[in-house]
Structure 1
Amino acid sequence: MIDMSPNLVLVVTIAVLFTVGVYLLLERSLSRVLIGVILIGNGANLLFLVAGGAAGGPPIVGVTPDGEMSDPLPQAMVLTAIVITLGMTAFLLAMAYRSWQLHRHDEVQDDVEDRRIARLAAIDELAVRDSDEEGPVPTLDEEAAEAHDETDEGHPVEEVAR
């Protein structure tokens, strides 16, 4: 009978990769988000291999007996996960580079709509008003003019774009 219990070191490594990866994904810096995506991708690859069970012979009918064949599905899943992680890495690198070109940092800024919802939540007010309510409803342009972004001070987009 084949021992199907996973190696404890691999299980702890998978847990650490996922934990650190999720922590880095919650950061505002795109370079940290990029490292988080890479760590989660590597954790997923290890998880697929550990979940695949013990190694066996090549899965070729006639060469290896049926009970000793390894499952090719986890290996195919790992190859797919590698491609997905590579695509996400390229996308995040492009976003971080573009952010560096425009703002000289790779921090993700709050969206005007996010700030409006956070402000309304702080005063315990509804984020969406009914169309039959009275009173002036500020437009998105008016709210954008009110918003203050501390990361853009001294680096207007027009200056950096030149």
Structure 2
Amino acid sequence: MKKLFFIILFFSSLGFNYAQEQGDFRLQLGADYRLRINEVGANAGIEYLFVDNFSIAPNFSYYFPDFGRISNLNVDLRYYLTQGVSQVYILGGYNNYWENFQPGLPGQSRTRPGGNFGAGAFFDVGETLGFITEFKIQSQNTRIPVLRLGVVMTLGGQY
């Protein structure tokens, strides 16, 4: 049993040697939670590290309000402050917020573009798997804080 544990530990630690490098792609799936209004949403996105420690991360969130439809598109620029197993980053970017409280009726939807800023961390748990946590403030409406948790898979790049 000890041998199996150390073998698994050895192979999973091989991925810890990798840091974010130019050309890496990461696919992200997770959940968003809008703190002030207690709405939960699903999130999907991709991250491309175009220069060491810098990435662009477009992602789309779909929220599940009591009635209507709400969605949000973010395009964030991330700068990684640390490397290794725990990769902390700061972010800033553009987002567009759509809401429609009476789907199917004309003139009932509205769009609000704006900016966002925040911080997050990527936790590497293997060569191609990790977890992400992120906190950001979106400038539309009442500057809604959003907490994001998700699973990240590395699709390609330097590995």
Q: Which bracket does the TM-score occupy, shorter chain normalised? A: under 0.3
Q: Which has the larger radius of gyration?
A: 1
TM-score, L = length of structure 2: 0.26
Answer 1 or 2: higher relative contact order, Cα 8 Å, separation at least 6. Answer: 2
Higher strand share: 2
TM-score, L = length of structure 1: 0.25
Higher helix share: 1
